[in-house]
Amino acid sequence: MLLKIDSFTNVGFGGMIGIIILLVVGGGLLLMMRAYGNERALSVASIVTAIIAVLLRIMGFISDIVLWVCISFFIVGVLYLLKEQGQYE
């Protein structure tokens, strides 16, 4: 039933429910983690958002384009984590 409701808001990138879920979770996590620094906050938020995006894609709430954007943010987040790890070695 939720997929039927989501299909009413289909604008070409999947329905809006999945995108709103990603924005709320990713944005909220980014704002909460900013106390630990911007690079750490961005990397953690991008990794969690990418994991949620995969799960939402399996359920059919987002399209492949949105998933690939989240995966690209995941790669950027991992690169930030690797850069930060190199500072302590």
State pTM to two decimals: 0.82
Distance CA 19, CA 83 (A): 29
Using alpha carbons, list the distances in angstroms from residue 8 to 2, 16, 65.
10, 9, 19
Across the chain, which distance is largest between two alpha carbons, in Å?
52
State pLDDT tens for residues 7-37: 777 766 667 888 899 999 999 999 999 998 8
Using alpha carbons, list the distances in angstroms from residue 56 to 30, 59, 75.
19, 5, 19
